[in-house]
Amino acid sequence: MVDFIGIERVQELVGRLGPARFIEELAGEIEADYLRWREFDKSARHATHSPVGVIELMPACDGQLYAFKYVNGHPKNTAVGLLTVTAFGVLSDVSTGYPLLLSELTLTTALRTAATSALAARRMARPDSRVMALIGNGAQSEFQAIAFHHMLGINEVRLYDTDPAATEKLERNLSALRLKGLRVVRCASIATAVQGADIVTTVTADKRNAIILTPQMIIPGMHLNAVGGDCPGKTELHPDILRRPDVRVVVEFEPQSRIEGEIQQMEPDFVVAELTDVLVGRRPGRVNAREVTIFDSVGFALEDFSSLRYLRRIHQEQRGSQQQIDLVPDLDNPKNLFALLAPEPAAAARTAAVFA
């Protein structure tokens, strides 16, 4: 039997801890895995593109456990009442190849994306950052707001989306959470939201080379958390922002980000640092208060590996609606797979008697 975690179980697990604590604990798991970066077999995700979206497989392995995520990105889905992103994942034992866990990752991906964003920002944003502009108020936005409020002390979030209904949804959800000390401000434009912000998070969904932020909007000391650009031909930042002499860019896995991130717009010799180097201290996340820092986040399989391992642990620790599924056969004789289809002995004997 294989452990199974569905949507209801994730709701239960997050509900017991609270979203903020869950995100913070998950960020700790992700950081621990980035600190042992060299133990992982890493590769860019395998993507199958169509005119309307992308379907991807994201594998990672540390020699003991193997994980993969299936995930799609279809920005037009919401027009027909479907999610833009859905995902599920598998965690397996390398020594046997047997799956240990099959889990939903749609909700979990939003949680781990926010956890990774905040983890990077703790090393890259100015320590006195208190105001964040949140551009794109769709499915990821609440998670980003919770993570930055809880883990970095953000006390003002400025909201903007081209869809006013998305902003209303976000404002309503944040109000219901009653996050202590968090002021939520609706803005009429990107420029208004960004003006004076310490951190700018862009998490838009359109599959195109969009220009969400222009060079004129960027002031010294800002930290940009660029989350929405996550596939070829999909970006959010004007390339001249990245060309500023005072800019420092950090990515998760450079070979993947060169294809899918904001840096897909840049020359091959454009210099970036990887998040692991910042977390272990080989490279600085920020060198002074006036530097502009950019976390060019596309999502990396190691973060899903961490999420699946964390989910399995707390799933086993916490009682509740624990489930298992018969995904793998359990045989008395592992060489006799056909036994699963063979008739029962009594039925076989009756059949033999009929034809005797």
The domains of the chain, with CATH numbers, are: 2-107+303-334 (3.30.1780.10), 123-300 (3.40.50.720)
Single out the catalytic residue among 33, 62, 161, 230: 230
Of 276, 280, 259, nearest in space to 268 by CA: 259
The per-residue pLDDT of the chain, averaged, comes to 94
pLDDT confidence of residue 207: 65
What does pTM read for this prediction?
0.93
pLDDT, mean of residues 272-288: 97
* Helix, strand, coil percentages in the chain from 3-state DSSP, rounded to 5: 40, 25, 35
The sheet carrying 2-5 orders its strands as 46-50, 53-61, 65-73, 87-93, 99-104, 2-5, 323-325
In the residue annotation, 62 being an active-site residue is answered as no
Of 99, 97, 79, nearest in space to 89 by CA: 99
pLDDT confidence of residue 356: 53
Residues 10-62 pLDDT 10s: 999 999 999 999 999 999 999 999 999 999 999 999 999 898 889 999 999 99
The DSSP secondary-structure symbol of 327 reads -
More confident residue, 146 or 352: 146
Pairing between β-strand 273-274 and β-strand 247-251 as defined by DSSP bridges: parallel
Query: What token pair was written down for 26?
Result: 């998950």
Residues 226-250 pLDDT 10s: 998 777 888 999 999 999 999 999 9
